[in-house]
Amino acid sequence: MQQFLSLTPEVEAAIRQNKPVVALESTIIAHGMPYPQNIETALRVEATVREAGAVPATCAVLDGRFRAGLLPEEMEHLGHAGNTVPKASRRDLPYLLSRGLDGATTVAATMIIAQKAGIRLFATGGIGGVHRGAAETMDISADLQELARTDVAVVCAGAKSILDLGLTLEYLETHGVPVLGYQTSEFPAFYTRSSGLSVDYRLDTPEAIAQLLRAKWAAGLSGGVVVANPVPGQYQLDPGIMEQAIEQALATARDQQIKGKAITPFLLAQVKQLTGGDSLASNIELVCHNARLAALCAVALCGEPPV
């Protein structure tokens, strides 16, 4: 792996000394937001992780190498390059590595880098999932399969609300991925705290989450865990307005025949426009909220297990 994996000295030292580390994705930098808001948000998320006692490790592919931890100039590079940087999921990694190219990592690709680096906690906005209309399109995010195979816990505000949340939960259940609700029994819907769907288990402290993770992996039960952390109440959006915006965005995507990996950033951009920017503001706050919880869980996981 030394041929393909590079860690910043800070991240490498933290992992070697069993200090808490939180992985962060880079699609939010290259594809999720305009410059310079993307860089400002990425730096704020890293600062949130530090304030909660952990080391941030923003992940990407740069010059054909997995990177866990980015230098400021590398983050600026991704932020300036934007959509010209390929959006990298599991299937894209062999090509990027073999050609010495850059890639902004999705949830799936970030999980892969995190596991290879020895990082157990990962904070993101929302996981991908089963898209609406998947019975015809078979459009299912690679994030779900990665959760079934990769030993990383993903702290998120549920799945993106542009998806079919019910089918997403069914897929996770089929593949044995536990869905935990942090201080909630209901699966959050990204921009809103409620979906009407239940999580598998409610846990109310980072220590309880860490205890479950420790038991799962110590018992040889491979695969990830979803830690669903609802958006703070003051930043959630009106469910009715959000659903109307999503339906309109989906109709526009169908009219323009937007498909594949382009569909999620397209829909999120449309929803941002239709909500007058409110969805982006909510997105930023929930990512920071998730980063803090992930850091607290990482701290608990690195501590002494209860007797």
Residues annotated catalytic, as ranges? 25, 160
How many Å apart are CA 30 and CA 110, to the nearest integer? 14
Contacts of 257-260 with C-beta under 8 Å, sequence gap 24+, read: 259/137, 259/139, 260/139
Q: Are 223 and 179 in contact (CB under 8 A)?
A: no
User: What is the three-state SS of the chain?
Assistant: CCCCEEECHHHHHHHHCCCCEEEECCHHHHHHCCCCHHHHHHHHHHHHHHHCCCEEEEEEEECCEEEECCCHHHHHHHHHHHHHCCEECHHHHHHHHHHCCCEEECHHHHHHHHHHHCCCEEECCCECCEECCHHHHCCECHHHHHHHHCCCEEEECEECCCECHHHHHHHHHHCCCCEEEECCCECCECCECCCCCECCEEECCHHHHHHHHHHHHHCCCCCCEEEECCCCHHHCCCHHHHHHHHHHHHHHHHHCCCCHHHHHHHHHHHHHHHCCCHHHHHHHHHHHHHHHHHHHHHHHHHCCCCC
How many Å apart are CA 180 and CA 30, to the nearest integer? 29
How many Å apart are CA 115 and CA 110, to the nearest integer? 9
